[in-house]
Structure 1
Amino acid sequence: MTETPESRAGVTDVDLSGTTALVTGSTSGIGREAALSLGRLGADVLVHGRDETAGNEVVDELVDAGSDARFVEADFASIEDVNALAETVRTETSELDVLLNNAGGLFRTGRLTDAGVEYTFHVNHLAPYLLTTNLLGHLAPDARVVTTASEAHRGAQPNWDAVTSVDDYSTFGAYSRSKLANIQFSIELAHRLDAADDEITSNALHPGAIPGSGFARFLPGPIPRAMQLLDGLPFVTSVDDGAAALVNLAASDRLEGVSGRYFDQQQIRTPSSAALDPDSQHDLWTRSAEFLDIDVPLSEASTQG
């Protein structure tokens, strides 16, 4: 019998009854398996994605497991859609206990969104930044915010010219930059929450290199087929392992109160020096608000004077 993500995370004895989780990007891959895992642990789950048919299939599985679940559609390249998603969560739930910022992608072609921001950066960073800050007032006092990043962040540096232009676009460069932003955002959020004496936690993780996640479909040439052939080999991270990394941060009693950390699967790891630069974290936070034309969130709890 295949070991479930909650078993791999060592949280099968955790009871999430009475809690509500939103898992973005949960119609396939690790997000789907993490959503199902949280449902089996007793949580009510909001399933997010762009494919209504796939989303409703996940909802059906969750309902069969006893979870009160529903699908919410939103395109993360659309500010309007993300705002609407946040409004749906606020309207249809009493509070949110777990926010898994898992949605994202790696895109072959460079283009700008309506916000004038490179598409990968917008979808992978600006959307979860906007969603999370929109929901801060709706999060439970001990809520957990988990953001899917990647070891691909290593070697990346902040580059605002590249974020606002697609000249000399590089698929992997754009992806790495967005994953660096995920970690910086997660740490800065943790610092600002702490400065506000808030017990909500924020952590980021690398879920592993996962051929079976479907992520490889964004890659060029024969790479997607080659990645499929790797799936199942003993040295390759499985979808269930990646989901377990998410569930560990969402549900493990061992991580109560742990915040501002970066995990490589289920182990704490030190991210790159660029990710840990407090000036860069602060700059990302404020510039992200400028791109979205919103007030700087948690400005009264700024980590800088």
Structure 2
Amino acid sequence: MTHPPEKRAGVEETDLTGTTALVTGSTSGIGRGAALALGRLGADVVVHGRDDAAGAELVDELTASGSDARFVRADFSDVGAVRGLADEVRAETDELDLLVNNAGGFFREARLTGLGVEYTFHVNHLSPYLLTAELLDHLAPEARVVTTASDAHRGVTLDLDSVASIEDYSGWTAYQRSKLANVQFAFELAKRLSDRDSKVTSNALHPGAIPGSGFTRFLPTPLSQGAKLLNAVPGVTSVTDGAAALVYLAISDRVDGVSGRYFSKQRPATPSQAARYPEAQRRLWQRSAELLGIDEPLTVD
């Protein structure tokens, strides 16, 4: 019998009654598993995705478990849609205890968004950055922000001039750079919150290599076919394990007060040197605000 994510995370006795969570990218994969786990533990859940039918189905499942759930559709390549998501969260909830920045993907096609920014970087990093910025004043005093990154961030650096170009595009490299940005963002957010004596925490995680998550449909054909075979290999991370990693960081008392850390599944890990470089974290934060045309959140004096 397969244990649910909350059991695998060791939090199955946690009572989340009165807690509100936003889980982006929660209509499929590990986001869906995490949303259901939070709902079973009593949390009210804001479901996000682009598929109305999948969103409605998940809301029905959450409601059946006793969760007050709602679905908000938002395309993460659209700045207005992300702002609309934040507006609806503010309008429909008193405050947010959990912000799980999980939405993202791997994209083969080279293209720019309406901002003139490479699509993968925009969807995987700029939109979580914007959403978090828009919701900072709506976070509960001890809220947790959890960002899904990946060990794919290792082995690359982030040239912030290149994010406005699709010259010599590589889908895999673009994905790696966006995941590096996720780690740098989580660390810089933690630092800036700490500087304000805030008890809100920010951490990033690698949920594991998850063939069953749907991610592999975006890979080049040989890699995609090989990844499908991994479903039958013992030890490969399952969707349930990936969801458990999200749930662990979101609610486990074992990480109370922990911030500015990177986790591999449910264990603390050391990210790449490029991810740990404070100046790179600061530049990414500032450049992201410039690309979005917004005031820099949590400005440093």
TM range (shorter): over 0.9
Distance 2:183 2:201 in 1: 14
Specify the SS of the correspondent of 1:231: helix
Q: What is aligned with 1:128? A: 128
Q: What is aligned with 2:207? A: 207
- Aligned letter for 2:128? P
Distance 1:296 1:114 in 2: 20
Gaps of 5+ in 1: none
1:13-35 CA deviation, whole Å, 9 max, x = no partner?
11110000000000000000000
Q: What is aligned with 2:108? A: 108
Distance 1:225 1:195 in 2: 47
Q: Which residues of 2 match residues 277-296 of structure 1 at below 5 A?
A: 277-296=277-296
Distance 1:209 1:231 in 2: 10
1:19–1:97 CA contact under 8 A, matched in 2: yes
Q: Which residues of 2 match residues 138-177 of structure 1 at below 5 A?
A: 138-177=138-177
Is 1:9 matched with 2:9?
A: yes
- Aligned letter for 1:49? G
Distance 2:21 2:69 in 1: 10
Report how far residue 221 of structure 1 moved: 1.9
1:87-134 CA deviation, whole Å, 9 max, x = no partner?
000000000000000000010011111111100000000000000010
Could you tell which deviates more after superposition, 132-141 or 159-168?
Answer: 159-168
1:118–1:166 CA contact under 8 A, matched in 2: yes
1:240-263 CA deviation, whole Å, 9 max, x = no partner?
000000000001011110000000
Q: What is aligned with 2:225? A: 225
Q: What is aligned with 1:74? A: 74
Q: What is aligned with 2:254? A: 254
Could you tell which deviates more after superposition, 227-236 or 122-131?
Answer: 227-236
1:6–1:12 CA contact under 8 A, matched in 2: yes
Distance 1:195 1:159 in 2: 27
Distance 1:215 1:119 in 2: 16
1:232–1:238 CA contact under 8 A, matched in 2: no
Is 1:236 matched with 2:236?
A: yes
Q: What is aligned with 2:40? A: 40
1:222-281 CA deviation, whole Å, 9 max, x = no partner?
432332221142121000000000000001011110000000000000101110111000
Is 1:57 matched with 2:57?
A: yes
Q: What is aligned with 1:264? A: 264
Is 1:197 matched with 2:197?
A: yes
Between the two proteins, the alignment pairs up a number of residues equal to 301
Distance 2:87 2:235 in 1: 42
Distance 2:297 2:210 in 1: 33
- Aligned letter for 1:175? Y
Q: What is aligned with 2:182? A: 182
1:9-57 CA deviation, whole Å, 9 max, x = no partner?
0001111100000000000000000000000111000110000001111
1:152–1:176 CA contact under 8 A, matched in 2: yes
1:268-300 CA deviation, whole Å, 9 max, x = no partner?
00101110111000000000000000000001x
TM-score scaled by structure 2? 0.99
Specify the SS of the correspondent of 1:181: helix
2:160–2:284 CA contact under 8 A, matched in 1: no
Distance 2:44 2:134 in 1: 20
Gaps of 5+ in 2: none
Distance 1:97 1:285 in 2: 23
Specify the SS of the correspondent of 2:60: helix
Distance 1:265 1:55 in 2: 26
Could you tell which deviates more after superposition, 216-225 or 183-192?
Answer: 216-225
TM-score scaled by structure 1? 0.97
Please provide the CA RMSD for this pair. Answer: 0.8
- Aligned letter for 1:58? L
